[in-house]
Chain A
Amino acid sequence: EPEVTQTPSHQVTQMGQEVILRCVPISNHLYFYWYRQILGQKVEFLVSFYNNEISEKSEIFDDQFSVERPDGSNFTLKIRSTKLEDSAMYFCASSDDRGRDQPQHFGDGTRLSIL
């Protein structure tokens, strides 16, 4: 069964450094999402992306965050200058519909640890 893949599985970075989290969504999917989950807390929506542009973003997704689909397969999340509170599990998800009747499929996540 096709799946969403994310790399790396774990990223350790010094505060203030830039990080890029990578995702390869399911190949025929058109809608892409990033969520994050701080340890012990709920999964939170960050941003959705369709047709090469951001469709919607949450208040968490400030100017330090950006997303890109640099080619036909990868979907990246960049955090420009990381803060301690960015430490979380980051999940990429994709859907072949706007989630209306089709589930969003999640990758295994990248655990980001900011020191």
Chain B
Amino acid sequence: GQNIDQPTEMTATEGAIVQINCTYQTSGFNGLFWYQQHAGEAPTFLSYNVLDGLEEKGRFSSFLSRSKGYSYLLLKELQMKDSASYLCAVSLRSNDYKLSFGAGTTVTVRA
């Protein structure tokens, strides 16, 4: 089976940095996606890691260690609009690289 763990909730202050960790134990791992999901809305793509290391996209960065089954999403210069759920999703080397999602981390940004 697939096991993807991430913290349930995190709170941070506007302008600060928050790191959301994700650990996974899966068979057929191909890569790892991070999605943002505002309440009642669709997941939107943030980042993708397939090789070990850091991928940086503006205020968001994501890191992957395949050997440790570990990833993190780093949100810098937090803004109020960043309050959302952040979903760690593993792409599995199946017929169509379906996504297996973690339960999501709800980030609340306070003024």
Contact = CB atoms under 8 A, between A and B. Distances in A.
* Real binding pair: yes
Interface of A: 31, 33, 35, 41-45, 48, 50, 55-56, 89, 91, 95, 98-101, 103-109
Given A43-B101, A103-B48, A108 B42 contact: yes
Contacts of A101: 31, 48, 50
Interface stretch (B18-26, B56-64, B68-76, B87-95): B87-95
B79 interface: no
Interface residues of B, number: 26
Interface string B32-50: 0101000011111100101
A103 B45 contact: yes
A50 B42 contact: no
B98 interface: yes
B84 interface: no
Contacts, number: 68
A50 B48 contact: no
A103 B30 CA distance: 13
A43 B44 CA distance: 13
Contact of B96 (A43, A91, A98, A108): A98
19 contacts: A33-B96, A42-B103, A43-B89, A48-B95, A89-B40, A95-B97, A98-B97, A99-B91, A99-B96, A99-B97, A99-B99, A100-B31, A100-B97, A101-B50, A103-B33, A104-B99, A107-B42, A108-B41, A109-B41
Tell me what chain A mostly uses at the interface: helix, strand, loop, or mixed: strand
Contacts of B104: 42
B100 interface: yes
B42 A44 contact: no
A101 B97 CA distance: 10
A106 B87 contact: no
A99 B96 CA distance: 7
B45 to A, nearest CB: 4
